[in-house]
Amino acid sequence: MINILTALPCEARPLIEHYRLRGNGRHHAFRCYQNDDVQLIICGIGKLAAATATAYLAASEPQRNYAWLNLGIAGHATKSVGEVLLAHKLIDAATGQQSFPGIVIPIPCASETLTTVDKPEQRYRESTMVDMEASGFYAAASRFQSCELIHALKIISDNQSHNTDNISEKSTTALINDNIITIESVINELQQLATELDSIKQTPAEIYAFMEHWRFTAYQQNELRLLLRRWHALTPASSPAPHDFTEYKNSKAVLIAIKEHLDAQPIRFEEANN
């Protein structure tokens, strides 16, 4: 699952069409679109709007491991209009704060520093893309997710020889559309990473069946979760089930019984290789 944040509807439109996203009426503060794998939020211009929208989306389903992508247009002094670049360093121009997205996915394009400014600037900065959202987006998203799953992907919309006067809604949509294959490639990689993290952090499904049979305190629920994870690691072929423990009257006795069962299991690593 991935959450995509764009500042403008014209940046979002190609993605809405490509992924066949549907408007989500549940959200009122921001315009949101989604399918089963992708959520898109249109935040408006500025880092504060970006941070707010990111936090809003993150808080709406806090349990899931989402990847996060800020997609949009950016300026650059020398890069060609239409070039797509992943941000490898984010700088907040107002505070000087630097952030470094963790790049563990194969990147299908070049990368560049991205500086987020509070107001549009007349002069281009040296050796950096410039936008107005990424630092707010990253600061908020990194409260909820690991840095390897948070990225900003920008398409150059203007440079020293092709200034912002040439940018229109239509040209912006076209820039995103022209790079949809690269964008999709980054989204796919991030989704895979999010799925992997989700499976690592997943609570064993059996926990709910056990909780229906016995009353576990919050502390015991955590203990049960750890024991069930041990169970799966030690005996991947078998699943624990409450009916194997019906002779035990209360949660404490069940936890002891599971622990004793696990402690008695032989450890053989060769099996793990097969």
In the complex, which residues of this chain contact other proteins (CB under 8 A)?
88-89, 98, 100, 102-107, 110-111, 113, 142-143, 145-149, 193, 196-197, 200, 226, 229-234, 236, 262-263, 265-270, 272-273
Decide whether 83 or 148 has the Cβ nearer to other proteins: 148
CA distance 11 to 70: 11
Decide whether 162 or 229 has the Cβ nearer to other proteins: 229
Nearest distance, CB of residue 223 and other proteins, angstroms: 13
- Is the CA virtual torsion 9, 101, 137, 131 positive or negative? negative
Decide whether 29 or 233 has the Cβ nearer to other proteins: 233
Asked if 186 and 111 touch (Cβ cutoff 8 Å), the reply is: no
Nearest distance, CB of residue 109 and other proteins, angstroms: 11
Nearest distance, CB of residue 144 and other proteins, angstroms: 8
Asked if 112 and 124 touch (Cβ cutoff 8 Å), the reply is: no
CA distance 89 to 113: 5
Decide whether 212 or 263 has the Cβ nearer to other proteins: 263
User: DSSP states of 138-188 as a string?
Assistant: HHHHTTTS-GGGEEEEEEEEEBTTB-GGG--HHHHHHHHHHTHHHHHHHHH
Decide whether 61 or 196 has the Cβ nearer to other proteins: 196
Decide whether 53 or 228 has the Cβ nearer to other proteins: 228
Asked if 110 and 88 touch (Cβ cutoff 8 Å), the reply is: no
CA distance 60 to 14: 24
Name the DSSP letter for residue 80: P
CA distance 213 to 243: 9
Q: If you count DSSP H runs as helices and E runs as strands, how many of each does the chain have, helices first? A: 9, 10
Decide whether 23 or 236 has the Cβ nearer to other proteins: 236
Give phi and psi for 180, each to the nearest 5: -65, -30
Decide whether 145 or 191 has the Cβ nearer to other proteins: 145
Two tokens at 154? 């920008």
What is the crossing angle of helices 180-201 and 9-18, to 10°? Answer: 70
Nearest distance, CB of residue 154 and other proteins, angstroms: 15
Two tokens at 62? 């806090």
